[in-house]
Structure 1
């Protein structure tokens, strides 16, 4: 029993001490203080900062903790403070329209866990200078030297003060007194020219999806050179240099497009022969496009013609070729541009287009893209010991009805197969 008496006495004393309570007056909450990472900005005379600036700050509370901050850009009188929990952020400080320089005040204040705000928030004045945007046409994203109704343009635009400072792009065609605004996020457009009337104009389509923009550019001229002008503006209305691209627009006069893809010195004579054959068939007017540049060497496919837009602009080429109902494709080699037809004529065939192809055949690999486009399955292998296919005298030819839509064959006795 004696061993537990001291413990009982200690417990009694502890209870008695707690029962007396704490004495004194509660201190009122003390507001936090706010500090910038840098206390002042000192620049050499005439020097200024760009308008995109990263600003950092911190806060301290003597009797609690900081839960966030509020900041204002400009005059704090009657301003709406913006709350943040961050200790830094990147801002594009505003410059009045038409001005190149500005002194912009930035104020920040801390907030503690009881909602008290720094009553004397610090400010910094940032001397900034606006820089005009920069713009240039993107590589391979301008039309070739000659087109018909469709032409695409892509550009790259940036701002030394940060791309968030970009406001818009403006375009004009032939007349720089008539500019049309393009949202800055659209950096690729396609012009679809309507040359059916006396005053041609061009509908503007946005992006590779060819979305309607509602913009129509007047003043297009056909069978003549046209120039597209492009410039960019930032939020302070500073303007970039004007870039331009000039190309020749041919008027479309037919629903038939004749593609001259015949390589070699006798190409012109072959074209004239086929145009005469068309005239004899009653077709006297066709639109003509020469895509016979480039040389197919050693069985490799010829580089895609420079007469069309770059191959990376397949949507543009598809829209372009779909302007015709019929295509007459003349070539002398399966290694030429016919190998690209499957990726450039999708829209043409979706619109119900028809195509006549005049190209001599030759042995090609089973994985050739031509076999995915032309209406035959494969190149048959010659029987061992034979140099060509032939039907021996007395062979029986049996008709078959298992082939859907077979080609119509005509036998001409003692006449070798040839291509006109």
Structure 2
């Protein structure tokens, strides 16, 4: 019993003490917020002459706060004592800066200052500062190879290049280029350009001005460029200029011969080899029909596996074809020719150009390709288990008034007649022979036999005639000149 009384008394005393403590508040003065202290990773940089830093530098900093947290930083390259200086806020501890040298100078000292801000918004009253001795570096530029790099071309020329600068690509200002002579006033090109098409404006001049299309732009620059020489070898020179006006040495392109067109009529030789005799055939027959002035483009000619006259890309090839009003395209490889034509004849047709195409179609042609979309052909006729042949005396029968019947002079083991596209008109059927692939027996073919057709443009004019037989092999009746007259004089209106 006595023990219980003792415990009760102790509990009462302890409770009283605790109650008394809870009623006492903290006393004294609250400490004021102390500012943070800011530091750069190094406190001094000593570099002189060529040992100075490049214009692109990485700067790091840190800070300490004795009674709080660091919320961020402000930095400036202006004077810290100036009331007009601009401070820039960041939460980062490092940043890469491009410190541009003023135009005309090759070196400068930049004073970088940084101050920390604590979680209560108090700023370091003594910012950390560091001087960066910077030297501008010369930029550089080099030509880059395209898919095709023609050494002979008509005056639509494409080049690509790549500029660089040790101080960072942002330090580049522009490019300057000139044709053939680096002592002339250079042509200025904006820094975003990595290539351009140069197109002559006057095909009658030996030294025409050029339109300049930057990158893949369809609209030329306002200013024209001089210096190009037709029927002569040409070199394009280019140099880079940076924001400090430092200039790279000129880089020289490979040499290419730029042909001066002699006409508005182009023969496109699509043979990979042996096309010279076919060129002679067309030249002679066109002359007999009254067309005596033509240009020639062996578009798939190669030397050491490289195309010598095929344009670098579809855009420049399309502009080149658009230099002409009429094109005769002949080839023993329909895949290459129709593929290129589909990708590069838009400009030509948009300028009301007229095309005659004679391409041999073999069994290798991909029926799923879209090469036929621009032609009068909807699809090819491919009989099941049957091969269609043309003998060396087969008749090519005219389906339209004015076109003479023709006759084959060669045996062809594979012939591809076709279904015409909507709006197209059949011009010729061939008397074909059908070979049963199982029994090898031969019989006359009674199916669709169209081997030549035409289509018209929006003006109602015939602008495209195509034959899947090679025309120079259809002069068995010695009347092919009459065919040329009908096509080019009466149909095309030349």
TM-score where L is the length of structure 2: 0.69
1:260 aligns with 2:279: no
**What is the CA RMSD across the aligned residues, in angstroms?**
3.6
| Number of aligned positions between the proteins | 396
> Do the aligned residues in 1 keep the contact of 2:338 with 2:372 (CA within 8 Å)?
no
Query: Aligned residue for 2:194?
Result: 187
Q: Deviations over 1:311-359 (max 9, x none)?
A: xx22221222223232111234446545433223243334443321233
> Do the aligned residues in 1 keep the contact of 2:338 with 2:371 (CA within 8 Å)?
no
Among 260, 265, 268, the residue aligned to 1:251: 260
Among 28, 31, 35, the residue aligned to 1:27: 31
Q: Kindly state the Cα deviation for residue 108 of structure 1 after the two structures are TM-superposed.
A: 1.0
1:407 aligns with 2:426: yes
Among 68, 75, 90, the residue aligned to 1:71: 75
Query: Aligned residue for 1:348?
Result: 348
TM-score where L is the length of structure 1: 0.80
Q: Kindly state the Cα deviation for residue 275 of structure 1 after the two structures are TM-superposed.
A: 0.9
Among 222, 226, 242, the residue aligned to 2:250: 242
The whole-number CA distance in structure 2 between the counterparts of 1:227 and 1:366 is 40
SS in 2 for 1:214: coil
> Do the aligned residues in 2 keep the contact of 1:149 with 1:195 (CA within 8 Å)?
no
SS in 1 for 2:278: helix
The whole-number CA distance in structure 2 between the counterparts of 1:218 and 1:8 is 109
The whole-number CA distance in structure 1 between the counterparts of 2:10 and 2:325 is 111
Q: Kindly state the Cα deviation for residue 240 of structure 1 after the two structures are TM-superposed.
A: 1.2
Higher deviation after alignment, 103-112 or 352-361? 352-361
The whole-number CA distance in structure 1 between the counterparts of 2:15 and 2:231 is 108
1:117 aligns with 2:123: yes
Higher deviation after alignment, 235-244 or 74-83? 74-83
Query: Aligned residue for 1:328?
Result: 328
Query: Aligned residue for 1:282?
Result: 290
1:223 aligns with 2:225: no
> Do the aligned residues in 2 keep the contact of 1:166 with 1:234 (CA within 8 Å)?
yes
The whole-number CA distance in structure 2 between the counterparts of 1:14 and 1:128 is 69
Q: Kindly state the Cα deviation for residue 196 of structure 1 after the two structures are TM-superposed.
A: 5.0
Query: Aligned residue for 2:281?
Result: 273
SS in 2 for 1:308: coil
Higher deviation after alignment, 23-32 or 79-88? 23-32
> Do the aligned residues in 2 keep the contact of 1:72 with 1:106 (CA within 8 Å)?
yes
Q: Using a 3 Å threshold, how does the CA distance of structure 1 residues 55 and 280 change in structure 2: closer, same or farther?
A: same
Query: Aligned residue for 1:98?
Result: 104
> Do the aligned residues in 2 keep the contact of 1:331 with 1:359 (CA within 8 Å)?
yes
1:391-406 pair list within 5 angstroms:
405-406=424-425
Q: Kindly state the Cα deviation for residue 25 of structure 1 after the two structures are TM-superposed.
A: 2.3
Query: Aligned residue for 2:363?
Result: 363
> Do the aligned residues in 2 keep the contact of 1:195 with 1:251 (CA within 8 Å)?
no
Query: Aligned residue for 1:396?
Result: none
Query: Aligned residue for 2:60?
Result: 56
Q: Using a 3 Å threshold, how does the CA distance of structure 1 residues 145 and 55 change in structure 2: closer, same or farther?
A: same
The whole-number CA distance in structure 2 between the counterparts of 1:152 and 1:231 is 17
Task: Give unmatched runs, 5+ long, in structure 2.
Answer: 392-418, 432-468, 476-494
Query: Aligned residue for 1:397?
Result: none
The whole-number CA distance in structure 1 between the counterparts of 2:176 and 2:259 is 25
1:150 aligns with 2:174: no
Q: Using a 3 Å threshold, how does the CA distance of structure 1 residues 365 and 263 change in structure 2: closer, same or farther?
A: closer
SS in 2 for 1:231: strand
Higher deviation after alignment, 361-370 or 325-334? 361-370
